[in-house]
Amino acid sequence: MTGAAPLAELDDLRVQFGAGPDAVQAVRGVSLHVMPGEVLCLLGESGSGKSVSMRALLRLLPPQARVTGGVQVEGQEVGRLSGRALRALRGGTAAMVFQEPMTALDPVYTVGQQIAESVQQHRGGTRAAARARALEVLDLVRVPDAARRLDAYPHELSGGLRQRVVIAMALACRPRLLLADEPTTALDATVQIQILVLLRGLQRELGMGMVLVTHDLGVAAEVSDRVAVMYAGQIVEQGPVRDVLRRPVHPYTRGLLASVVRADGVEAPGIPGSPPDLRRPPPGCAFAARCPAAVGACSAAVPAEQKVGPGRTARCVRVGESVAA
Amino acid sequence: MNSQTLALPAAAPVRLPPRPGYWGMVGGRLRRDPVTVVFCLLMLAIVLAAVFAPLISPFDPYKESIIFRLKPFGYRGHPLGTDELGRDILARILYGGRSALLMGVGPVVFAGLVGGSLGVLAGYAGGWVGTLVMRTMDVFYAFPSVLLAVAISGAMGGGMLNGMIALALVFIPAVCRVAETATTQVRGLDFVEAARATGAGHLMIVRHHLLGNVLAPVLVYASSLVSVSILLASGLSFLGLGVRPPVPDWGLMLSTLRQAIYVQPWVCAVPGAAIFVTSMCFNLVSDGLRSAMDVRLR
């Protein structure tokens, strides 16, 4: 992996909504990268800044968001792209799969029209060619009887099929980076796993890099190569999925893993307290107030990212002790 | 297999089944909706009667008669009687449909185009553009619509064209508000962001996704305004601000015949009935169109 250029990179990304003392600091210095052909999972609870970080990769944040820091996709600085280059990036180089398949499709157009629209946008060509391409991608995402479904309106499809269509739309122009924002959250449990397997399979088959946002540890364990655990707008722990989920270093990650519902009926302990108000983030570690292992140094300054193993970092002052333990 | 799967096939184009087509579906649904079909035909009949009034009218609508004033239905070949100047009511109803339809449809079309565009602009742009547009509309909204129409056409000096302009100005804020509301609702939905995420520009999003979703409510609302417009136009003529006598107009006829209501009540009711039936046609047809055009209904 060393030596290869990353497909996408965030460098000290900071995103703030609003201005003045009540501005919400949604993302507070996130640095990460995705290699080609790799699945990075952004894991965290709602409000931890994972979706915002991902949207920054396509510059999809609302105009009132103030973004600082570097955002690069395939070596291009996304913040400095002109309108045309930005449109080529969106959907062309990088595409996004949305959480809610109900609302991610325009109800007044057939699914074929919607896929074809993006194909024509990026590749030009005739309407018939775009339609043929739409049929191809529907086949690719294993929509049964795709030729008939091409002329179906979104409301005529089930949730799982709709999400397949959303994925097909994202894949229509062969993106090299796929961003998926909680792609299975809105689906039935039985359909979730099918969609995950499909996403993972397509990602391998097409050699795409992928960023997957989720709050579901099971999803992260299932499909990702690396995970980045986010808390209160920062990455608290990052590393290969197996290492992080088997031997978590940061107390927050440990708390998350302990909160998973267990089959044996033992009640999950959960993490006491609630995340800090991001209008006034604490000066030190954001997790200190809820952390069972907090010491005085935790509240003094934000802990720096420390290397705790090959490709692994964590933001915790007691990192040395926990690795030893 | 990997890179080939997604490449466009150079040869052997994929055979696709024929598409049913959007308008085909709308037509098919309309055919199965007898109420809409009947009122559509009735509306067509009214329009044709107005257009071909000179050909089918039994009398000259301007020809007065001192002797045969305010006669009942069927009197001496006047199927709908005569008015206070002895003119044939049927002829005047036929000719009067011209101004009624013009005053009914003209202002609505104009207001639909202007108000609809302004509303979509305000809804999509939001921010200070949206505030500027919508607050300006609110100023117009503060006046009762009849009063505003009377004031504007009064200030511009009556006449048919001025009446139409006045009515259009009355309708623009209402259409604008409907379009703005619909746009704001649609703008926040994921598919607009999804379109942006697949590289669609502002023009594409507005033209394709917003108009596609906003057109239906605006169209339905505008078509219901047609009947309001006919009524308001009749009101303007009634007050002497719209069509000038002796030009035949339903509102004007209603206004002048009103004094004879105790002499010939049925004859006096005819122009009112004409206004009512025409408005009802537009309302029911717009209702039917809305159900037929909504892809979400089955």
- Cα A107 from chain centroid (whole Å): 26
Show the tokens assigned to B147.
């009063």
> How confident is the model at residue B4, as a pLDDT?
45
Show the tokens assigned to B89.
């009511």
d(CA B225, CA B228) in angstroms, rounded, equals 5
Is the residue at B114 inside a domain? yes
Angle between helices B145-156 and B211-238 in degrees, nearest 10: 70
Is residue B133 a contact partner of residue B118, using CB atoms and an 8 Å limit?
yes
- Say if B198 is an interface residue toward chain A (CB within 8 Å): yes
Report how many domains make up chain B: 1
Asked if the Cβ–Cβ distance from A109 to B16 is below 8 Å, we say no
- Measured between its terminal Cα atoms, the distance across chain A in Å is 29
Q: pLDDT means per 10 residues in chain A (325 residues)?
A: 75 88 88 91 87 89 87 87 86 87 86 89 86 90 88 87 90 90 85 88 90 87 90 91 88 85 72 84 86 83 85 84 52
Is the residue at B28 inside a domain? no
Is residue A41 a contact partner of residue A224, using CB atoms and an 8 Å limit?
yes
List beta partners, residue A312.
A309
Show the tokens assigned to B229.
């417009």
- DSSP conformation letters of B96-147: HHHHHHHHHHHHHHHHHHHHHHHHHHHHHH-HHHHHHHHHHHHHHHTS-HHH
**Can you say whether residue A227 is alpha, beta or left, with left for phi > 0 and alpha for psi between -120 and 50 degrees?**
beta
What chain B residue is nearest to A122 in terms of C-alpha separation?
B199
What chain B residue is nearest to A85 in terms of C-alpha separation?
B199
> How confident is the model at residue A322, as a pLDDT?
54
CA triplet A27, A30, A33: central angle to 5 degrees?
Answer: 135
Is residue A25 a contact partner of residue A233, using CB atoms and an 8 Å limit?
yes
> How confident is the model at residue B227, as a pLDDT?
75
What chain B residue is nearest to A55 in terms of C-alpha separation?
B197
> How confident is the model at residue A228, as a pLDDT?
93
Element (H, E) at A237: strand A234-240
Asked if the Cβ–Cβ distance from B191 to A103 is below 8 Å, we say yes
Chain A CB contacts of B204 below 8 Å = 121
Is the residue at B23 inside a domain? no
d(CA A37, CA A170) in angstroms, rounded, equals 16
Longest dimension (CA), chain A: 67
Map tokens 């005569």 to a residue. Answer: B82
In one-letter notation, the amino acid at residue A290 is R
d(CA B147, CA A262) in angstroms, rounded, equals 70
Whole-structure pTM over 0.90, yes or no?
A: no
Asked if the Cβ–Cβ distance from A109 to B212 is below 8 Å, we say yes
Q: How far is CA A66 from CA A29, A60, A215, A281, B278, in A?
A: 13, 12, 25, 17, 56
CATH of the domain at B144: 1.10.3720.10
What chain A residue is nearest to B12 in terms of C-alpha separation?
A132
Is the residue at B95 inside a domain? yes
Longest dimension (CA), chain B: 95
Element (H, E) at B258: none
d(CA B150, CA A29) in angstroms, rounded, equals 62
| Complex ipTM over 0.85 | no
Show the tokens assigned to A133.
């391409």
> How confident is the model at residue B115, as a pLDDT?
92
How close, in Å, is residue B113 to chain A by CA atoms?
Answer: 21
Question: Cβ-count burial of B273 within 10 angstroms (0-12 exposed, 13-18 middle, 19+ buried)?
Answer: middle
For B53-87, b/e burial (b = at least 16 CB within 10 A) is beeebebebeeeeeebbbbeeeeeebebbbbbbbb
Is the residue at B225 inside a domain? yes
DSSP A89: I
> How confident is the model at residue B20, as a pLDDT?
57
- Say if B204 is an interface residue toward chain A (CB within 8 Å): yes
How close, in Å, is residue A220 to chain B by CA atoms?
Answer: 24
Asked if the Cβ–Cβ distance from B2 to A207 is below 8 Å, we say yes
Considering only the beta carbons, identify the residue of A92, A133, A207 that sits closest to B199: A92
d(CA B152, CA B158) in angstroms, rounded, equals 9
- Provide the residue range defining the domain that includes B80: 43-293
DSSP B11: S
Determine the residue among A57, A96, A103, A106 to mutate to test chain B binding: the one whose Cβ has the most chain B Cβ atoms within 10 Å: A106
Asked if the Cβ–Cβ distance from B198 to A136 is below 8 Å, we say no
DSSP A93: I
Low-confidence ranges of chain B (pLDDT < 50): 1-5, 7-13, 298
Asked if the Cβ–Cβ distance from A87 to B200 is below 8 Å, we say yes
> How confident is the model at residue B103, as a pLDDT?
86
In one-letter notation, the amino acid at residue A275 is P
> How confident is the model at residue B210, as a pLDDT?
86
List beta partners, residue A9.
A33, A72
List beta partners, residue A290.
none
- Say if B295 is an interface residue toward chain A (CB within 8 Å): yes
DSSP B71: -
The residue extents of the domains of chain A are: 8-324
> How confident is the model at residue B14, as a pLDDT?
52
- Say if B10 is an interface residue toward chain A (CB within 8 Å): no
CATH of domain A8-324: 3.40.50.300
Determine the residue among B4, B191, B297 to mutate to test chain A binding: the one whose Cβ has the most chain A Cβ atoms within 10 Å: B191
- Cα B112 from chain centroid (whole Å): 9
Is residue B289 a contact partner of residue B95, using CB atoms and an 8 Å limit?
no
> How confident is the model at residue B19, as a pLDDT?
54
Chain B CB contacts of A98 below 8 Å = 190, 193-194, 197
> How confident is the model at residue B21, as a pLDDT?
66
